[in-house]
Structure 1
Amino acid sequence: MERAFQRVVLVGKYRDPSVLPGLRRLRALLAELGVATIIECQSAAQLESDMELPQGAFDALSPDGDLIIALGGDGTILGTARQAAGSGVPILGVNQGRLGFLADISIHDIEKTLPPILAGHYQRDARSVLQAQLWRAGQCLQSGIAINEVLVHKGCCETMIELQVHIDGQFIYTQRADGLIVATPTGSTAYALSAGGPIVSPQLPAMVLVPICPHTLNARPLTIADQVSVQIDLIAGRQPAALSLDSHDTFPLQPGDTIRIHRSTCDAVFIHPEDEDFYQILRRKLHWAALPGED
């Protein structure tokens, strides 16, 4: 069989031994198909795997012939995507989590779904990535990327925070709230959706600003083009807060801090089965086709 991918890198949910049976199942299938297979270094170390596979790091992968298969839930896929972003190496998410909008293949169907993908029958899906910078007193203290969202929130404080928002230098509003989510289309089905934001097709070049429990009845989510720059200022004299990227990297904020957000020059690349589509995933995950009273 002619293959689109010559080597597969396995990634499992860190510190979760429940993924080991699924990883062994993948290893056995890939061996049967004659595909060279390695396991990502951190996965091997943290899972203490006995799979006896060669180990490899993300920075040693090539977009020409390599495929990452990440087994877990959306958190595992996001963590993998952050590390692989910009490399051009595609990621196939295999679901062993709960809801899962990115991991759209079940481990229970892998023997049926994986061989056509390895043969080149798949969809390539490039997703936008956000770049966020934390500025304090004229210095950039932190910089990082987010696949889902950049979140400015009240952290452990009991009181709301006060934010001032500019888009491309133009003043938009001052907001008292528990926080503000700046989400990609990918992140529109994550925290932003729970906070009342819209679902945005991943094909749209957009960002969504979603206030969290705003102290006003006229605050609404705002969808903007992703070519703009968003600036969030934590107003001086108020409580400290925190900046979170995909709920993974978190940095403490002080009054007077500025967060600058724009679309990154790199994308996160995913692949899906040929017959998969975004709206099919929504119907399945959100039970849009179910009648009232049905599961």
Structure 2
Amino acid sequence: MASFARIFLLGKYRDSEVIPSLVQLATSLQNWGCDLRIDARYHSQFPQLLSFVSLSEAVPGDLVIALGGDGTLLSTARELAGRNVPVLGINMGRLGFLADIAFEAIGQTLPPILAGAYVEDRRSVLHAELWREGALIGSGLALNEVFVHKGCGESMIELGVQLGSRQLYTERADGLILSTPTGSTAYALSAGGPILTPELRALLLVPICPHTLSTRPIVLPDHLPLRFKLIAARFPAALSLDSHSSFPMVCGDEIHVRRANCDALFIHPQEQDFFAILRSKLHWAEPPGED
């Protein structure tokens, strides 16, 4: 039945509530004849006849199924970025914008996907580096956004922003969000940015509470590198990547960001529609209610 060599199954880490759903899904996948592998962290929860592996063993031709919310899906996709291993999200969270399959519907939705009826969805990834006095302090990948912010301080920070070889602006604000199209429906949207469709090769720069009220979100090409320099801050600022890793910053630090040389690969049911998801989950473009 399956068009994939092996199925890797994992769930939201440290969430005991996901275990019964993992067990139920694992049983269904085995009944459907899938060659199943379980995340080794759940070894004690499953019968010994199952194979327990690390996600690092997944190769092209395999499928990774992640149960949880969008955070679980993002962390899984970051780990697999560039390895050409698709990720399928089963929503166990609140919104589930990326993990678009409801757990209650897996009996109807999963068999066609396992038989090869699905669409691929490649998403751009950002690579960010933090530099201090010529030394690399830290680096990482971001699927949603690179966020530079004032940390725990109460005062604004001042940032210089450069796009390629050109100076974009110097801004005092609570922070700046550099978002991929995937992240345009996340924090950047809450901060007032526009929605970018996933296939766009673009980035979105959104200021957080800027001192200059004329500063507005701007859409930029993603083939040019960006550089942020922390010019002034009364307290240590911070660099956050998808909220999964954070680095403290001091004045003079620079952040170098470019589109990574790898993409994240998702798969969805064939009937998946980005605009339908916007309407159903974000209530986008809803008609006005009747009086």
TM-score under structure 1 length normalisation: 0.94
**2:244 maps to 1:251:** no
Match of 2:45, SS state, is coil
Give the corresponding residue for 1:180: 176
Structure 2 distance, partners of 1:232, 1:118, is: 44
Is there any run of 5+ residues in structure 1 with no aligned partner, and where?
none
**2:227 maps to 1:231:** yes
**For 1:160-186, what per-residue CA distance to the aligned partner results, in whole angstroms no more than 9, with x for missing partners?**
111000000211111111100000000
Deviation at 1:29, TM superposition (A): 1.0
Sort the Cα spacing of 1:160 and 1:109 in 2 relative to 1 into closer, same or farther, 3 A: same
Deviation at 1:20, TM superposition (A): 1.1
Say which of 254, 265, 287 aligns to 2:283: 287
Give the aligned CA root-mean-square deviation in angstroms.
1.5
Is there any run of 5+ residues in structure 2 with no aligned partner, and where?
none
Deviation at 1:236, TM superposition (A): 4.6
1:142-181 paired onto structure 2 within 5 Å = 142-181=138-177
1:1-295 paired onto structure 2 within 5 Å = 1=1, 3-42=2-41, 44=42, 49-52=45-48, 53-64=50-61, 66-236=62-232, 238-288=234-284, 290-292=286-288
Deviation at 1:54, TM superposition (A): 1.5
Q: Is contact 2:230-2:252 (8 Å) kept?
A: yes
Structure 1 distance, partners of 2:285, 2:172, is: 38
Aligned partner of 1:14: which letter?
Y
**For 1:130-155, what per-residue CA distance to the aligned partner results, in whole angstroms no more than 9, with x for missing partners?**
00000000111111100000000011
Structure 2 distance, partners of 1:168, 1:86, is: 24
**For 1:71-128, what per-residue CA distance to the aligned partner results, in whole angstroms no more than 9, with x for missing partners?**
0000110111111111110000000100111100000000100000001000000100
Match of 1:76, SS state, is helix
Structure 2 distance, partners of 1:136, 1:84, is: 29
Q: Is contact 2:157-2:233 (8 Å) kept?
A: no
Sort the Cα spacing of 1:51 and 1:190 in 2 relative to 1 into closer, same or farther, 3 A: farther
Deviation at 1:49, TM superposition (A): 2.5
Moved over 4 A (4+): 289-294
Q: Is contact 1:11-1:40 (8 Å) kept?
A: yes
Identity of aligned residues (%): 56
Structure 2 distance, partners of 1:194, 1:237, is: 24
Sort the Cα spacing of 1:289 and 1:173 in 2 relative to 1 into closer, same or farther, 3 A: closer
Aligned partner of 2:269: which letter?
P
Structure 2 distance, partners of 1:218, 1:236, is: 21
Match of 1:110, SS state, is helix
Deviation at 1:238, TM superposition (A): 4.5
Sort the Cα spacing of 1:237 and 1:244 in 2 relative to 1 into closer, same or farther, 3 A: closer
Match of 1:201, SS state, is coil
Deviation at 1:239, TM superposition (A): 3.3
- Aligned residues between the structures: 289
Structure 1 distance, partners of 2:117, 2:274, is: 17
Match of 1:217, SS state, is coil
Structure 1 distance, partners of 2:189, 2:76, is: 22
TM-score under structure 2 length normalisation: 0.96
Q: Is contact 2:161-2:170 (8 Å) kept?
A: yes
Sort the Cα spacing of 1:237 and 1:176 in 2 relative to 1 into closer, same or farther, 3 A: closer
